[in-house]
């Protein structure tokens, strides 16, 4: 098949999707979807773990700056692919067109099995956990249907598997009810889902801005400022400094350099900044996608990363980095040992006392609600695109006759998320796929280079900023992070690879289905 014929088919398919979907997402809604999908509960929690790993105020900020650079470069690179192929399915389509259908399927398989659904489950349970601050009967220990069985925990070399509580408690029941509610709301049309997304994203961005302003003008603490921004700011940040790290679960303690410890610390910050690519899944519903998709990716990631870095500066303004797990006060525990890693809650509690805990619980509920909605809205567009290729349940390729939304795909996603909530496995599964998510980002940006070579005549309304240098730098940096995780955190890597590889035989089973060709649509 000639390149011209292939391009003609791409344009024809894109035109067909233009007629099928309702284009109801403008630039504002698309940007809100990027931001709302990124901001969940991670920014309020993961800085404690990063602080324990790097033991340095400078490296804590550095970890977020590196994450920000990588995220924005990746988003700018994806902008070219999004403008070139503005079709439902986004990243799945890019991988399929650049590297072949197997790679597209493996991404969609991992997205459905864990990445999207596991994140929805985790964020939904976070909503339930913080709702429990106001209603104590909502708790992971308040069982409705306890199956009296816990998956055994055991080690395989450096990996620990199992240890999941199975059953229905009031906390995961809230998560399931939230997912059901938002799934049905998103059946009612992309404009309805977008309206909810806009409201809740505006609310949680305001909450983050409020946290920054409170920390800047009210909560600045002399003890924290002296501890973090005095002589200790560059503590353990020198090029010759060695950091202790345990290899895997129960493995030996080894010493590593600054770049290696920063790569390890990226697990938390990269996950907190993830899901910015979800807007590409909804490309079939974006107004003027060749302009608005690249813009929304750039604006959304830029704003969120700026807020994330500012929040961490505020954490250092209010709390000392170092602390003790047995500390009697919030200042004694510091950022490293904030209670249950709830750094943002500790910051507000330091400023406002017990009222601060309630304020932050409310803010995290708003954030979790909006994040859940964005993920629920966007994911089914990938399953829809896969089903049209004969690589998912055929019924998932059908749009609702009235609302023009992938209603069946929404329901399939909803059921699997509910199963993950009851199984209690979502948290562990998410740990397993951090590595795999980064692999797919690398492959997609490699696909950008491939498409520049194989389809040089394709229309590109937007070209990646800094190409080829910036995309190449991203690939090198992401590969370094993955290799470091492979070496020092195998519990995050090998299980993720196993999940991806299991998709290969599934692909060949699914590929026996006949794709929905023009005459079937």
Q: How does pLDDT run across 223-240, given as a tens digit for each residue?
A: 999 999 987 898 888 888
Neighbours of 520 (CB within 10 A): 10
Distance from C-alpha of 49 to C-alpha of 59, rounded to nearest angstrom:
12
Please, are residues 125 and 421 in contact by the beta-carbon 8 Å criterion? Answer: yes
Question: 521 versus 212: which is more confidently predicted?
Answer: 212
Retrieve residue 420's tokens: 């993950």
Cα three-residue angle 47-48-50, rounded to 5 degrees = 60
pLDDT of amino acid 140: 83
Q: Residue 177's pLDDT band (boundaries 50, 70, 90)?
A: very high
Instruction: Give the Cα separation of 373 and 179 in Å (integer).
Output: 8
Q: What value does the mean pLDDT of the chain take?
A: 88
Q: What confidence score (pLDDT) does residue 13 get?
A: 56
Range from 85-89, 166-170, 294-298 that averages highest in pLDDT? 294-298
Closest by Cα among 445, 446, 438, 443 to 485: 438
Position 146 pLDDT exceeds 90: no
3-state secondary structure at position 2? coil
C-alpha 82/C-alpha 469 separation (Å) is: 19
pTM higher than the cut 0.75: yes
pLDDT at 23 over 80: yes
Q: How many CA atoms lie within 13 A of 257 on its CB side?
A: 4
442-461 burial code (b ≥16 CB/10 A, e <16): bbbbbbbbebbeebeebebb
Domain boundaries, the chain: 3-520
What is the rounded distance in angstroms from the CA atom of residue 140 to the CA atom of residue 381?
A: 32
25, β-bridge pairs? 286
**82 within 8 A of 289, measured Cβ to Cβ:** yes
Provide, rounded to the nearest whole percent, the portion of the chain with pLDDT above 70.
Answer: 90
Integer-rounded Cα Rg, in Å, for the chain is: 23
User: What pLDDT shows up at residue 163?
Assistant: 53
- The model's pLDDT over 295-351, given as tens digits with 9 standing for 90+, comes to 999 999 999 999 999 999 999 999 999 989 989 999 999 999 998 888 999 999 999
pLDDT band at residue 164 under the 50/70/90 scheme? low
- What's domain 3-520's superfamily in CATH? Amino acid/polyamine transporter I (1.20.1740.10)
Asked if 167 contacts 327 with a C-beta cutoff of 8 angstroms, the reply is no
Residue 148 has pLDDT above 90, yes or no: no
Residue 517 is encoded by which pair of tokens? 């060709």
> Is the pLDDT reported for residue 1 higher than 60?
no
Identify the residue with better confidence: 157 or 301. Answer: 301
**Each residue's pLDDT tens digit, 186-203:** 999 999 999 999 999 999
Phi, psi of 108 (to 5 degrees): -60, -40
Q: Give yes or no for residue 12 having a pLDDT over 60.
A: no
User: How far, in Å, CA of 484 to CA of 403, rounded?
Assistant: 46
pLDDT tens digit sequence for 108-132 = 999 999 999 989 998 998 899 889 8
Whether the per-residue pLDDT at 366 is higher than 80: the answer is yes
pLDDT tens per residue across span 398-455: 999 999 999 999 999 999 999 999 887 666 666 777 788 999 999 999 999 999 999 9
Residue range 470-503, pLDDT digits in tens: 999 999 999 999 999 889 988 778 888 888 999 9
Scanning the structure block, which residue is given the tokens 């797990």?
325
User: What gap in Å lies between CA 474 and CA 101, rounded to an integer?
Assistant: 24
Q: For the packed helices 258-272 and 469-488, what is the interaxial angle rounded to 10 degrees?
A: 100
Confidence of residue 159 (pLDDT cuts 50, 70, 90): very low
State residue 426's pLDDT score.
66
């Amino acid at each position: 098949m000639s390149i011209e014929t292939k391009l003609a088919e791409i344009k024809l398919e894109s035109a067909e999707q233009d007629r099928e979907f309702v284009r109801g997402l403008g630039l504002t809604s698309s940007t809100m979807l990027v931001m709302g999908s990124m901001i969940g509960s991670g920014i309020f929690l993961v800085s404690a773990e990063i602080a324990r790993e790097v033991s340095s105020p400078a490296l804590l900020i550095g970890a977020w700056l590196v994450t920000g650079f990588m995220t924005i470069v990746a988003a700018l690179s994806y902008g070219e692919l999004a403008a070139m192929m503005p079709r439902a399915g986004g990243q799945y389509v890019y991988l399929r067109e650049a590297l072949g259908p197997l790679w597209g399927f493996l991404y969609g398989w991992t997205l459905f099995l864990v990445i999207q659904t596991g994140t929805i489950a985790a964020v939904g349970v976070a909503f339930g956990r913080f709702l429990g601050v106001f209603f104590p009967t909502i708790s992971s220990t308040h069982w409705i249907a306890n199956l009296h069985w816990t998956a055994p925990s055991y080690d395989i070399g450096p990996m620990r598997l199992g240890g999941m509580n199975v059953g229905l408690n009031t906390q995961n029941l809230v998560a399931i009810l939230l997912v059901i509610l938002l799934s049905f709301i998103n059946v009612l049309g992309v404009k309805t889902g977008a309206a909810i997304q806009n409201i809740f994203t505006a609310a949680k961005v305001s909450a983050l801005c409020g946290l920054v302003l409170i920390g800047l003008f009210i909560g600045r603490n002399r003890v924290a400022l002296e501890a973090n921004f005095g002589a200790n700011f560059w503590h353990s940040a020198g090029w010759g400094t060695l950091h202790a790290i345990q290899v895997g679960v129960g493995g030996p303690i080894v010493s590593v350099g600054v770049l290696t410890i920063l790569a390890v610390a990226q697990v938390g910050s990269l996950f907190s900044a993830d899901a910015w690519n979800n807007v590409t899944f909804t490309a079939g519903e974006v107004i003027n996608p060749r302009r608005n998709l690249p813009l929304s990716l750039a604006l959304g990631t830029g704003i969120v990363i700026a807020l994330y870095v500012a929040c961490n500066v505020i954490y250092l303004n209010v709390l000392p980095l170092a602390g003790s797990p047995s500390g009697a006060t919030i200042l004694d525990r510091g950022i490293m040992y904030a209670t249950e890693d709830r750094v943002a809650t500790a910051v507000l509690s330091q400023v406002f006392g017990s009222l601060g805990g309630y304020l932050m619980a409310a803010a995290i509920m708003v954030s979790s609600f909006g994040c859940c909605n964005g993920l629920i809205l966007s994911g089914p567009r990938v399953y829809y695109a896969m089903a049209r290729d004969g690589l998912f349940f055929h019924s998932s390729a059908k749009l609702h006759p009235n609302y023009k939304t992938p209603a069946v795909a929404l329901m399939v996603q909803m059921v699997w998320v509910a199963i993950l909530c009851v199984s209690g496995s979502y948290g562990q599964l998410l740990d397993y796929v951090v590595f795999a998510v980064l692999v797919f980002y690398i492959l997609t940006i490699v696909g950008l280079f491939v498409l520049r070579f194989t389809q040089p005549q394709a229309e590109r309304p937007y070209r990646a900023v800094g190409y080829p240098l910036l995309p190449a730098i991203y690939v090198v940096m992401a590969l370094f992070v993955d290799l470091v995780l492979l070496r020092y955190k195998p519990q995050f890597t090998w299980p993720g690879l196993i999940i991806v590889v299991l998709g290969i035989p599934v692909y060949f089973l699914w590929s026996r289905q006949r794709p929905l060709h023009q005459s079937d649509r």
